[in-house]
Structure 1
Amino acid sequence: MITPALDTSAPGTGVRVAGPHSGAAGPVPPGAGHDPLGVLDLFGDGFVRDPYPWLDTLRSQAPVHHDAGTGLWLISRHRDIRRVLLDPDAFRPDNAQHAVTPLPVAVLRVLARAGFQLPPALANNGTDSHPGLRRVITRFFNARRVEAAVPVIERLAGELLDAARARLDTDGEYDLFASFAQVLPCRVLMELLGIQDVDPATLIRWSDASLELFWGRPALDRQLELAHQVCQFHQWLTETVRTGRAADGSFVGALARHRLPDGTPLDAQTAVGACFFVFIAGQSTTGQLIATVLRRALSEPGMWPRVAQETEASWACVEEVLRREPPVTTWRRVVARPVELGGVDLPAGAQLLLMLMGSGSDPEVFADPERMCPHRVNIRHHLAFGAGRHRCPGASLARTEAAVALRAAARSLPKARLAKGAEGAPMLGLLSFRAPLRVAVADG
């Protein structure tokens, strides 16, 4: 639950956006010094840019590792993470959306004045209300609806790529993140959920502000700026839920009709919490996935023309990116009772950070994990969408949007290549989210 009272006691970890001129020291290889992990900084430029050496060392030498800097237990092996995700009674989701950085009084006042509160709804809900709420969500993202959405995704992708083609012809370079990868999932979500009273740019700004405030480590001035944007987002969601203007067949309308296990109507704050989660996952994280998929396909020799010609190749490429470089890199759990995990005794209340991205490179599960191998037999055994009762309900839509976006971009821009210096583009590096913030292409 993201509430001011709980956030102030959350572990004081954080993040920054890594860039080529961030001024950070270069990465220290794992194994340096007395600690086999070297200088492990989960939020430093070196880790954000290339986390794999550290993740490999964690998995092989310290698979259940207490990180003194964050107070979190880092869980790295695929089998241990899967065990945690499949046992929500022993490993509860209560802390999944706690603010990473304690919020100062000035920020708490901004949130309090706006009435900001998000009770447990989906990702952080371990109560008996979760299954019913999840069913409401999954009905809007089931296989039939996702298949019906493909023409919508293709149409919107085509419109955005027509603009990209024109700009590329004029300027010689174009950023596929800001004007394509980031915008496409927002516009798709708006059409699927019947949102008409706000523009895509505003929804994107609100969603990204929420991620940065609650999963980042911004300075106080930036926290205050973000808090005002998050409050605007919350107030818009609250008004949308409470006015009753939503159509019966809409997502908000379905929440309004939903009944809790005791038969009482779903309260407005919990409905807002569900919308908050769905809007962020449906926009920001899907946009991050698309950006990563585009960059990877442009980087791999022969991949760009192949995904343009072979439909299955685009799906396989997306799946390999989800395995190796997912946008949701970690997720949190809290130990409900004393338990042994990976040979380590953990006390009740221990805060766990599940290293989802590292689990996709576990050699016990994936052969040659560092290789881009789109036709792996076990290609879907990754944990990018979680597992068990809290597995991402929008997984099918996210996969579909990324595959359609990749195929459309490769067909519309057949000669595109990464622009010079693209490897130094800034990276988003929040506690649980990582993606390129720029995918600049030139016409080859």
Structure 2
Amino acid sequence: MQTQAANHDPLASAVSKARLRLAPFLALMFALSMLDRSNVGFVKQALMVDANIGNAAYALGAGIFFIGYAVFEIPSNLILHRVGARVWLSRIMVTWGLASAAMMFAHDETSFYVLRFILGVAEAGFSPGVILYSTYWFPASQRGKALGVYYFGLPVALVLGGPVSGLLLDVMGGQLGLRNWQWMFIIEGLAASVVGVIAFFYLASKPRDAKWLNADEKTALEAAIAAEDNRKTAHGPATALSALGNWQVLRFVAIYFAIQVSVYGVIFYLPTRISELTGMAIGAKVGLLTAIPWLCALISLRLITGIADARGKQREFAMAMLAMAATGIALSTLGHELVPVLMAFCLATVGFVVVQPLFWTLPTAYLSGTAAASGIALIGALGNLGGFIAPTLKTAVESAFHSQQAGMLALTIAGVVGVLLLMSIGARTRRDSTLRLGSSEAA
């Protein structure tokens, strides 16, 4: 019944085709992005030995990626809006893959900092660019589900990335005179560059460019997106500069910042924590164990985002997921047994993975045009600085209180702050978003 209805409705058919065609490939791109920015967590111990890097230097280097990412985020999104997603997303992916492979040259603290910064510059604008790209293809009432497919890339990267990175570390040591961690960076980085080349030929920037949509589907989809943009312009900022100073955009920045502190505080330290609990070196076995929380997130992602879209309760579900993440992080500090700690990480991971596509339905229902390009980039740029703050904050709190538990509890507090900020979104803003979502469904 649903397929027959889609065949007779050009808009529904276009959205369905776009979701099937674009979202899985974007998820693959995101998976490689997350793998290349987080695989440093698997080589922490080796880097600390081979490059003589201490805990504080590792934390700074892991986080400095986000400084480069933030500085170039807004220009990158504005360029994407001008030249098209096909060209710009492909360019980003090819260059970040090469930058990730270049991490093989890290040999001391300075080179580690420089290479992580360059990686951030190379990848700047990717995820906000995809979020902006989704507004060209999916009406607001369908965007949560589409972004839910895109965010499959996060758990997929760490379900498969953990075992793959661990396997490379196990089997590649000494080949051609390179260390195992150098091979890991080379192979995983060049994989991203290859997919970036494919993306240039696979993606279409706008519905009018898609050869896989018929004329009626192109017209219906572009009309629905244009009507939605007009409604958003009437209620929110209309220009790039007005978006940058808009109070609601700044609130979204703070919420996303809190989410990212929770996310990266766990991503960078999960392999090390599991290694400590099991007494095993980080390799294939630890990689398999770290994959379990991401597998839980993978199973939960589509189900929860679909329910939230169907009920029009994206904000409320986002609050619940971020609260779950904070709870899981707190519980992971209790005890020294593998199973309960792993279960706590499962709770945390489901929460902070699922909250992200739900969160992005809020600013994308508020911003359009160049305001969307700059506003989404600002949210991504400043919000992603949470990834810079997280390892540094965790290390600083641990040193101050002489306790690893204190560092994780600091990340828990960040998640609680994010929940409170989501609660603080005003009734008028929620009402406007609901009206826009309802109008999109009617269209």
Pick the TM interval, shorter chain.
under 0.3
TM superposition score normalised by structure 1: 0.27
Higher helix share: 2
